[in-house]
């Protein structure tokens, strides 16, 4: 089964759609017969991506549009929504996927933190608040997918700004799902995409070949579509290094820090290394 919004002639809007998971999703949606709008901040990459999509979309260039957008600015998302409405009549699928990971330190420059939060969190809030009311009013089955991260759940040390942004995306998307299902007549569902290790421009870090442990963006989107069809809210993606069983143990340990009153991030605390190993191995 597939999600009822993923049908021919539905309209999908994907931010961060010029590359990586966003472009892979746009490609899959186009193959399903949806009309596609990709948005990204890089106009050149965006133009190349849109051209590629015209060869996949059944209606060719008539079914594909693109717009250079900075998701951190609400007025640009409003411009995007107006352009989609003018071209295709509105949106049925919204994938808030744009994100950055430049790296951060706890006491690093505040403008670096601000930029990460503006894109990764406020980009999703802007996208949802601008697009969702009109999507609900259409009265058609719809879909909002927000791209989170496992780092927003287990919050490993090393990149606190990114972790904070993705933890907030999780909380926001959970609240969104509740709001949508509590809205009378609403046929829109919300879902949190939680990728594993995916080889994209965001994660390549100068590498030209995919590491053995990583999935491709296409594998990730295949899994996403499968789980959307199953009705999952938390789309927890494995990869070649971390099967779901390992992710579940890591997530359970992170939640257990609160329940057991252990030190914060005890998974990385030397005094708990042996206990965590036993937890993972089930011994």
Task: Write the DSSP string, 34-55.
Answer: -EEEEEES-HHHHHHHHHHHHT
User: Which residues face 67 on adjacent strands?
Assistant: 39
Contact 169/152 with Cβ under 8 angstroms? yes
Q: Comparing C-alpha atoms, which of 21, 12, 69 is closest to residue 42?
A: 69
Catalytic positions: 162
- For residues 47 and 36, give the distance between their C-alpha atoms in angstroms, rounded to a whole number: 13
Distance CA 212, CA 109 (A): 34
Which residues, 6 or more positions from 67, have their beta carbon under 8 angstroms from its beta carbon?
Answer: 37, 39, 46, 79, 80, 83
Cα separation values, 56 from 8, 26, 27, 51, 250, Å: 13, 10, 7, 9, 39
Residue in the structure block whose two tokens are 């509590």: 182
CA atoms of 103 and 128, how far apart (whole Å)? 26
């Amino acid at each position: 089964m597939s999600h009822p919004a993923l049908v021919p002639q539905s309209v999908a809007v994907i931010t961060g759609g010029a590359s990586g998971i966003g472009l892979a999703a746009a490609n899959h949606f186009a193959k399903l017969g949806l009309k596609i709008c990709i948005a990204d901040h890089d106009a050149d990459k965006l133009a190349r991506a849109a051209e590629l999509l015209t060869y996949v979309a059944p209606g060719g260039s008539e079914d594909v549009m693109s717009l250079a957008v900075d998701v951190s600015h609400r007025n640009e998302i409003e411009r995007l929504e107006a352009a989609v409405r003018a071209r295709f009549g509105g949106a049925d699928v919204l994938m808030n996927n744009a994100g950055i990971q430049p790296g951060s330190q706890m006491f690093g420059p505040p403008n670096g933190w601000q930029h990460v939060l503006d894109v990764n969190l406020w980009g999703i809030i802007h996208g949802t608040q601008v697009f969702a009311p009109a999507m609900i009013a259409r009265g058609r089955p719809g879909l909002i997918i927000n791209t989170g991260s496992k780092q927003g759940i287990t919050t490993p040390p090393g990149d606190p700004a990114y972790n904070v942004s993705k933890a907030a995306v999780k909380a926001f998307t959970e609240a969104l799902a509740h709001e949508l299902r509590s809205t009378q007549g609403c046929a829109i569902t919300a879902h949190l995409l939680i990728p594993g290790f995916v080889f994209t421009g965001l994660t390549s870090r100068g590498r030209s070949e995919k590491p053995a442990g990583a999935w491709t963006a296409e594998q990730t989107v295949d899994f996403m579509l499968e789980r959307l069809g199953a009705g999952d809210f938390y789309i927890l993606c494995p990869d070649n290094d971390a099967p779901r069983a390992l992710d579940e143990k890591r997530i359970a340990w992170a939640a257990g820090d609160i329940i057991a009153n252990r030190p914060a991030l005890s998974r990385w605390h030397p005094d708990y290394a042996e206990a965590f190993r036993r937890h993972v191995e089930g011994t």
